Amino acid sequence: MKKGERKTIHYRRIWRMVAPSLKPWRWYLFLFLFFAIFLAICAVTEPYLYGSIVDSIILSVDEHTSVFPAFQLILPLLFVWGGLVLLETGVNAFYMFLSWKFGNEILGVFLEKWYHRVLFLDMELFKGERSGELLRKFDNTWDAVWDVSFRGVRTFLEAGMRFIAALSFGLFLDWRLALVSLIPVPLSIFIGVINMRAASHQQHTASMYWEKITGHVADAFANIATVKGFSNEGRFVKIFAKLYLTSCKHQFAINRLWAIVEAGYGAIYIFGRLLLFAVGAWFVLNGSTTLGTLIMFLGFANFLFGSVQMITMAFPNLSKSLVYLDRASEYWYKIPEIREKPKAKTLTRVKGQIIFDHVTFSYKDSRRVLKDVSFQVPDGQVFAIVGESGAGKSTLAQMMLRHYDPVGGSILIDGHDLRDLTLKSLRSSVGFVMQENLLFHDTILNNIRLAKPTASMKEVEQAAKRAQAHSFIKALPKKYDSMVGERGVKLSGGEKQRIALARVLLADPPILVLDEATSALDSKTEHDLQCALKETMKGRTTLVIAHRLSTVLDADQILVMDKGRIVMRGIHKDLIKKEGLYKQYWTIQAGGYL
């Protein structure tokens, strides 16, 4: 949100987002309505019984009725009152349980849909946003859906039915007093609605800063070694404190506003009760109504004002929840650029021919990364791509998984444009080992099985052996059941890379893309792994992204990239004979950096 921009809540957008999750449970709403009506009738019956008892006592005193006969008159009313209270308590407990169940059902259905939509958004979004901020949005959405579905629905239904029941009884008993009791209501609701609209802008800003705090803390925890390595703990705490103070400034402004509003509500309701009592006392004194009726009305007024107060007091939480849902809806309605066509084809019986046909690509910041890149990989061959950092090698590799689409040209597998294929069939056909391999906070076994959840233990071990990972895994106390820590922090870079390789080898895809797959390994392990990879790559189309030329000497073709273009191509023995970048790289690395 830009500075000074006034952010409003998109109510229709929120409703369209949440409504489908409510649909399967709409019968709950009818049940809630029934309970709310029943409880409202029970609630307003109490002051009616109370007033009737008072009138009976006054009548008995006026007529000098003896104690026992008089008590016999009010005893049935007391029993009815007591039974009503017990029934109301039981029904209210069941109503609370149903509300809790309804809230949980809606929460589960909605969050699953929202999580699904976010996971299918473009890689560009995840690279541009902090994971901590996304996590905070998820957490806020969780709270908002729970507040609206559990507390919100229950509060508004219950308060609404109590208001209608109290007003109906009041009009039946004395329409004049009923109209007097209504005087504070419109003003209270008007103030609540106006302030909710005013608070929503501040809440958007406050929420943005709370998300920044979570993003900052998540960044610090994820990069704790760097924070400690540069003795930056104090600096990060200062950044946190600054963000926190800014967040509090906006949140305090909202809380101050609602505190003033709530004080105003209190004054309005006190004025309403005093006015009702004054008018009612006048009617009692001039004989146009009874003291019992006035007492009943004061009880009805409590329910009338109380129900309005329940609604107006819910406005601050409702306002916050609507802001959270509005921010969540930004992701709900975001349309990913990388998506399947309506009649996308399933890629089957993959041979592995790859064609890059005049591919051009730019990121959204307008950086031109690939410029008119064309090459063809025959099925079963190994092509290596080398070049300086920033030449476009990793971008090219990620385009094989359709993390990004070309802005010009096309990429084909077995003659099929990647944009015409289902994402699942494409990505299950291409095994990708990244330069930085992050693992899940789970066991080694489950991290490897991510590629094939149904794999047997034997299959997992075979994949680990081919990736040169089995020996170090077996040396761990819990072996394959060892936890790797968040992002694999308990393992070395080489160990993480070998587990990532094992994961891909377990999937056994027809096409391999290895982006610096052996960069974090020591020389001996790299040599052993290269031997294993040679066996794996036999008869399998493979793209190898590499800085170390020693890893691509046997490639069927080597492409040299510079500033997004292919500037040289050929096999190793031919390329080192030509003047150019490849020979420069080879000379530098052969001089001691191989």
Q: Which residues on neighbouring strands pair with residue 544, listed in sequence order?
A: 384, 514
417 pLDDT band, cuts 50/70/90, is very high
pLDDT > 90: percent of the chain: 7
In this predicted structure, the answer to whether residue 64 has a pLDDT above a threshold of 70 is no
In this predicted structure, the answer to whether residue 232 has a pLDDT above a threshold of 60 is yes
487 backbone φψ class: left, alpha, beta (φ>0; ψ -120 to 50):
left
pLDDT at 594: 45
Give a three-class secondary structure readout of 49-107.
HHHHHHHHHHHHHHCCCCHHHHHHHHHHHHHHHHHHHHHHHHHHHHHHHHHHHHHHHHH
Asked whether 362 and 46 are in contact (CB, 8 A), the reply is: no
pLDDT at 164: 83
Rounded to 5°, the CA angle 547-552-555 comes to 140
Span 424-438, pLDDT tens digits? 899 888 888 877 777
Tokens (6 digits) for 591: 């001089």
Span 492-530, pLDDT tens digits? 777 888 888 888 888 888 998 888 766 656 677 677 667
pLDDT at 411: 93
In this predicted structure, the answer to whether residue 551 has a pLDDT above a threshold of 70 is yes
In this predicted structure, the answer to whether residue 5 has a pLDDT above a threshold of 70 is no
Asked whether 383 and 543 are in contact (CB, 8 A), the reply is: yes
* Range 354-593: architecture per CATH: 3-Layer(aba) Sandwich (3.40)
Range scoring the smallest mean pLDDT among 10-24, 110-124, 219-233, 568-582: 219-233
Mean confidence (pLDDT) of the chain? 80
Other CB atoms within 10 A of residue 368 CB: 13
End-to-end CA gap in the chain: 49
CATH number for 13-332 (one of 2.130.10.10, 3.40.47.10, 3.30.60.50, 1.20.1560.10): it is 1.20.1560.10
593 pLDDT band, cuts 50/70/90, is very low
Higher pLDDT, residue 338 or 438: 338
343 pLDDT band, cuts 50/70/90, is confident
Span 355-393, pLDDT tens digits? 999 999 988 766 778 899 999 999 889 999 988 877 788
Span 79-101, pLDDT tens digits? 777 777 787 788 878 877 877 88
**Please, which residues have CB within 8 angstroms of residue 210's CB and are 6 or more apart in sequence?**
136, 140, 247, 251
Span 147-156, pLDDT tens digits? 777 777 777 8
Span 475-497, pLDDT tens digits? 888 998 888 877 777 887 778 88
pLDDT at 181: 82
Q: What are residue 341's phi and psi, to 5 degrees? A: -75, 160
* Residue with the two structure tokens 């006054």: 58
pLDDT at 35: 81
In angstroms, the CA 16 to CA 122 distance is 23
Asked whether 440 and 480 are in contact (CB, 8 A), the reply is: no
In this predicted structure, the answer to whether residue 197 has a pLDDT above a threshold of 80 is no
pLDDT, average across residues 36-46: 78
pLDDT, average across residues 348-356: 89
For residue 6, how far is the Cα from the chain centroid?
24
In angstroms, the CA 426 to CA 432 distance is 12
Rounded to 5°, the CA angle 232-238-242 comes to 145
In angstroms, the CA 447 to CA 437 distance is 11
pLDDT at 260: 78
In this predicted structure, the answer to whether residue 410 has a pLDDT above a threshold of 90 is yes
Asked whether 431 and 513 are in contact (CB, 8 A), the reply is: yes
pLDDT at 59: 63
In angstroms, the CA 52 to CA 106 distance is 44
pLDDT at 592: 43
The amino acid occupying position 425 is S
328 pLDDT band, cuts 50/70/90, is confident
68 pLDDT band, cuts 50/70/90, is low
pLDDT at 62: 56
Whether the model pTM is above 0.75: no
**Please, which residues have CB within 8 angstroms of residue 194's CB and are 6 or more apart in sequence?**
none
pLDDT, average across residues 559-574: 88
Q: Which regions of the chain carry the CATH code 3.40.50.300? A: 354-593
Asked whether 263 and 211 are in contact (CB, 8 A), the reply is: no
In angstroms, the CA 356 to CA 512 distance is 16
Q: Which regions of the chain carry the CATH code 1.20.1560.10? A: 13-332
pLDDT at 347: 86
pLDDT, average across residues 282-297: 79
Nearest alpha carbon to residue 517 among 368, 381, 382, 360? 382
* Residue with the two structure tokens 């939480």: 317
